[in-house]
Amino acid sequence: MSFNEIRWHPLLGTWNIVASGRATRPWRDVKCPFCPGAPETGEGWDVISLDNRYPSLSTTPVISAAAPSFSETRPGYGRCKVVIETPDHEGDLDTISFKNLVKYVEILGRETEELARDPEIKYVAPFRNKGELIGVSIHHPHSQIYALPFIPLKIERELEFMTRYNREKGTCVICDIVKEEQGGGRVVYSNRDFILILPFYAQWPHECHIYPRRHFQLLSELTAMEKESLADILLITVAMYNSLFSFSLPYMMVIHQAPVKGQHPQYHLHIEFYTIHRYADKLKYAAGIEWGYWAFTYDELPENRVKELKQAARKAVERLGKQQYSPLGVFQP
């Protein structure tokens, strides 16, 4: 029997997901379940959203045992989705068609809206893991969406500090970052609706964030023009990363949006990319000080890393030009 539950962490004030059935999920060198013609996917699609066959959360969860007095166990209720961005078994967001990318963004917004209708769901978390070093189990390009029965601790923390900033200054912290940084040295690329920046407070070696110019909370609120702009800046970001060291760079892409229950007007949606390569042959290992204390050490000046990313972006533009793609925005010199 598989168990899906959430267990309360009494020292941190957050929930951990426990999913025993995940241990048997397919691992890498198997017949791809995401390619066209597979039982899960069928034929005749370009971008598709599916229920995860090995979910961390379930709509019919079973609890393994009662919790000790100092903690709590609840059913691991929720939904886990997989979004397959292309029928091609190999590739990344910079190798699929722009039409697919726009549809991908539309699906993320639609899934957010649909999953939010469930009264038990408090947060919708879309993310994308890429590369074996990140721990990807299936090579076929795909993203995931977790619909959670709780608000993740990191989002709670962001919401707390965005609210505090608004209370103290009367403005939004991300709106202020966009205004102050636009045209500055840490911005790599910008288009009509978004900017791509290596933030002043980066934690991972070539970490970048995508910030919307407009203040809004959820993917389901994107306008038609913003969907195209977001597809464009995702394409540029991934192409930049894959040009950085002349190999397909592993990364994590996480979309931070507001909780889907209640009103959270101070929250500003954004996207964060985490990379683990310091150099082509050296990795950033998050070790004792990072995992044990959440105090990240940055092994360079972020402003020097930006120079590397801008050079990679120029290479990416040349490659995209050969693919007949013209960026919708401008690159920061």
Predicted local confidence at residue 27, as pLDDT: 67
Closest by CA to 112, choosing from 216, 227, 220, is 220
How do residues 196-240 score in pLDDT, each as one tens digit? 999 999 999 999 999 999 999 999 999 999 999 999 999 999 999
How far apart CA 260 and CA 297 sit, in angstroms, is 33
Give me the number of domains the chain comprises. Answer: 1
| Domain of 215, in residue numbers | 4-331
| Below-70 pLDDT ranges, the chain | 26-28
**Cα diameter, the chain:** 62
Query: Which spans in the chain are helix H?
Result: 98-116, 153-169, 173-181, 224-244, 288-293, 302-322
How do residues 86-126 score in pLDDT, each as one tens digit? 999 999 999 999 999 999 999 999 999 999 999 999 999 99
Predicted local confidence at residue 135, as pLDDT: 86
Q: Which of the residues are catalytic?
A: 142
Which residues share a beta bridge with 251?
130
For residue 224, what is the domain's CATH number? Answer: 3.30.428.10
- Name the E strands within 39-95: 48-51, 73-75, 79-84
